[in-house]
Amino acid sequence: MEQAIRWLNNPGADDKGLGQRAIALIVEEGKRVADGLPGHQKADILRLCDEVEGLANQYSKLCAAGLAHTPEAQEIARKLNAKLHELKNQIQSAVVSRVVEDFIDISTPLKQFTEAVNVPEGTPGRDQNFNQKAANLQAFSDRASKTSRMVAAGGSGGNKKLAEVLLASAAQIDSLTPQLISAGRIRMNYPGSKAAEEHYNNLKDQYADTILRMRTLCDQATDPADFIKASEEQMQKHTLLCEDAIRNKVPQKMVDNTSSIARLANRVLLVAKQEADNSEDPQFTSELLNASDKLQNSVPSMVLNAKSVATDISNPANSSHWRDANKNVSFSLDGIKLNFNF
């Protein structure tokens, strides 16, 4: 980005095409990230890529003709500068939101698939249940590896080694998932086979380790302030879904969304503690660790109160206690945000 802006600010200087190349790389990054996005987000980033490319071509032609200092060229440079920043911000925002959302729950797809594998022979709907849970696991894996590739393309901050590890993790999940599903089917069909059980458990452990490593790398690759902001937005969304569950008296929905809030809070804690470990400012470290402790201590009470709600969802006192505990989680998160200049 710096190279591109330097070219726009010093059009007369010969930078041997580096500025133009820098813009092309940002556009390329945008297109790679867009590949992993849903409808409107994808369209927005691709539109910006086209606009940046068009303005860059116009500006380059004017520079080549010796007209870089004309009002027309300066106006194009101004627009191009604004569009470049808009594209870069959209790329970062898209990457962070995908990382936060796609890795909220990395254990349930595997847990439910393993439960399907172990359903006793003769149980009605056994095969259909297996196929459904296998499809869920495959869909989750596809989403996770796509997000990992997206982070490698647009969220690794130019860290080539990190990008390579993220791409390797994505390739490993792509390879492991069909092997795991196949091993699960064999294990289900031959429940008495020790070899089938060991093979399945080995692949299951490999998969769990790889997914956890992938999520940790993706979380660490994103800007901590952006990550915390996106996590807070997701926690607010799941809070609204909890309120919806209370209103419509759906206990399981209450449990599921409370679990998501707790998982998001725990990921914020991991990112905050990583920042504290990396900091050389003792005051920042101390304040961040204190805020992290408060958040960590607030989560169990919120989860416990949510369980009381789920057990007796018509009791308004239970709902009131959960709301108070959940507000405490939100206030504790505010304490962490203060350390990142929100």
pLDDT one-digit tens code per residue, 213-243: 999 999 888 889 999 999 999 999 999 999 9
Cα separation, 271 vs 182, in Å, equals 35
Res. 157 pLDDT band, cuts 50 70 90? low
Let me know how long the chain is. 342
Q: Would the pTM of this model clear 0.95, i.e. be above it?
A: no
Select from 83, 116, 81, 101 the least CA-distant residue to 37: 101
Q: Is the pLDDT of residue 81 over 80?
A: yes
Cα separation, 147 vs 37, in Å, equals 9
Cα separation, 11 vs 4, in Å, equals 11
Q: What is the pLDDT of residue 3?
A: 78
Instruction: State CA 60 to chain mean position distance.
Output: 36
pLDDT per residue over 101-125, tens digit each? 999 999 999 999 999 999 999 999 9
CA dihedral 314, 319, 322, 326 (to 10 degrees): 130
Determine the 3-state secondary structure of 79 from DSSP.
Answer: helix
Q: What is the pLDDT of residue 171?
A: 97
Q: What is the pLDDT of residue 156?
A: 62
How much is the mean pLDDT over the chain?
92
Q: Cβ contacts of residue 29 below 8 Å, gap of 6+?
A: 91, 153, 154
Where is 225: in which H helix or E strand?
A: helix 224-248
Q: Is the pLDDT of residue 15 over 70?
A: no
Q: What are phi and psi of 264, to 5 degrees?
A: -65, -40
Instruction: State CA 219 to chain mean position distance.
Output: 7
Rg (CA), the chain: 25
Instruction: Give yes or no for a contact between 30 and 87, defined as CB atoms under 8 angstroms apart.
Output: yes
Cα separation, 154 vs 64, in Å, equals 30
pLDDT per residue over 132-147, tens digit each? 999 999 999 999 999 9
More confident residue, 195 or 153: 195
Phi-psi sector, 122: left (phi>0), alpha (psi -120 to 50), beta:
left
Cα separation, 31 vs 27, in Å, equals 6
Q: Is the pLDDT of residue 12 over 70?
A: no
Res. 329 pLDDT band, cuts 50 70 90? very high
Cα separation, 258 vs 312, in Å, equals 15
Cα separation, 325 vs 237, in Å, equals 16
What average pLDDT does the segment 296-307 reach? 97
Instruction: Give yes or no for a contact between 55 and 76, defined as CB atoms under 8 angstroms apart.
Output: yes
Q: What is the DSSP string of 258-302?
A: HHHHHHHHHHHHHHHHHHHHH---HHHHHHHHHHHHHHHHHHHHH
Q: What is the pLDDT of residue 158?
A: 67
